[in-house]
Amino acid sequence: MPVDKIRVQGDSRVKHESATVNGRKYGYLLSQPESGRYRATIFLIHGFPDLSMGWRYQIPMLVDMGLRVVAPDCLGYGRTDAPDDVAEYGHKSCADDIKALANHLGESKIILGGHDWGAFLAYRISLWHPDLITHLFTVCVPHTGLKKDFISLEDLVRVAPNLTYQVQFASGELEKVIKSRKEIKQLLTALYGGRTPDGKTGFTVEEGLLLDRYMTLKPQRLLSEEELEYYATEFSRNGVHGPLNWYRTRKVNFDDEESIVGRKITIPTLFIQALRDPVLPPHLSKSMREEIPGVIMKSVDTAHWALLEKPAEVNAIISGWLKDIVFAGRPAEKL
């Protein structure tokens, strides 16, 4: 059975809102039950190269469960500001922004979900602002804890070659060639699984974007043509420099996090592992039970884009967790 999803254009169930917090303008999607009454507010944080609309399969389900949904475009993306200063993309800075946005919307407590970089940021929000988050769920990216010693990206990929593409993303090389809307559209096609007429990919984790090939890619299956056009338009607002800045923050984040090394995430947490993610193989999640006591771990047989590849399975896991853990023993009328 098809899973209900938000249409990228003209769907009355979502509003495109904006707010300025900490001197930065954030665009976000807002959706809530028609009655205006809701059990709690949930924030959904996307990754790269995605947008707030990356949660389009999950938003209707969450609203049907009585939640108010807030899905921001992260810093650098879509309708949100894209500053040049890499320091502004540090996780503490972005965590502070999410807290400020929650406060702007009248919330001192939220449920939090994240995918890809959004999952990485969600862990950091929970560490920097533990009083803000009541429950946490993440998809694909496990929490591996905070590091006592700095490891450069170059040193990291020597032991984790599946992350080598990040060297290209951080280098500045892509901004020099990905400028036009057509080039942005083909970048997105490559990263969402597009292939050439003879079946070759336009991206590998060992090399990154294959610049000699990506412009020849044919449409992929995860985004419809309407969705791809929407994404290309949103990414064209400020180009790819802002989104790629997230790959340049290792030292910023390390310096910020020195003061919280050893801190654990103690709130109820769900982690959904994608079993065929080439960047994040399952063995990387082995330490999560040490880092997040009591974490519930589930899996789906997908590659990296689990939210889009198998939305019914992902939604069943999230909704079950909400019923059994988040709302257990709490009648709706008292929420």
pLDDT in tens, 193-202: 999 999 999 9
187 found inside a domain: yes
1 found inside a domain: no
The CA–CA distances, whole Å, from 22 to 34, 44, 111, 125 equal 31, 20, 21, 16
For residue 198, count CB atoms less than 10 angstroms from its CB and return exposed for 0-12, middle for 13-18, buried for 19 or more: exposed
Task: Evaluate if residue 316 carries a pLDDT over 50.
Answer: yes
229 found inside a domain: yes
* Through-space distance between the first and last CA atoms of the chain, rounded to whole angstroms: 31
Active site residue 4: no
Dump the DSSP string for 162-209: GGTHHHHHHHTHHHHH--SHHHHHHHHHHHTT-B-TTS-BSEETTTEE
Cβ(113)–Cβ(42) below 8 Å: yes
138 found inside a domain: yes
Residue-averaged pLDDT of the chain: 96
Cis peptide preceding 60, ω within 30 of 0: no
Q: Residue 40: which CATH number?
A: 3.40.50.1820
Structural domain span for residue 187: 15-334
Residue written as token pair 């969402």: 192
**Mean pLDDT, residues 199-221:** 97
Q: How confident is the model at residue 110 (pLDDT cuts 50, 70, 90)?
A: very high
Of 46, 91, 135, 304, the active-site residue reads 304
Residue 91, helix vs strand vs coil: helix
Side chain identity at residue 236, one-letter code: S
Bridge partners of 71, per DSSP, are 29
Give the range among 119-123, 144-148, 239-243, 293-297 with minimum mean pLDDT. Answer: 144-148
Question: Structurally, how many domains does the chain consist of?
Answer: 1
2 found inside a domain: no
Of 73, 81, 116, 277, the active-site residue reads 116
Of 259, 240, 249, the residue nearest 90 (C-alpha): 249
**Phi and psi (nearest 5°) for 113?**
-130, 150
185 found inside a domain: yes
Residue 42, helix vs strand vs coil: strand
105 found inside a domain: yes
Nearest-angstrom CA–CA distance, 190 and 263: 38
Nearest-angstrom CA–CA distance, 97 and 272: 25
pLDDT tens-place string over residues 78-87: 999 999 999 9
pTM of the entire predicted model: 0.97
8 found inside a domain: no
Active site residue 143: no
Nearest-angstrom CA–CA distance, 132 and 111: 9
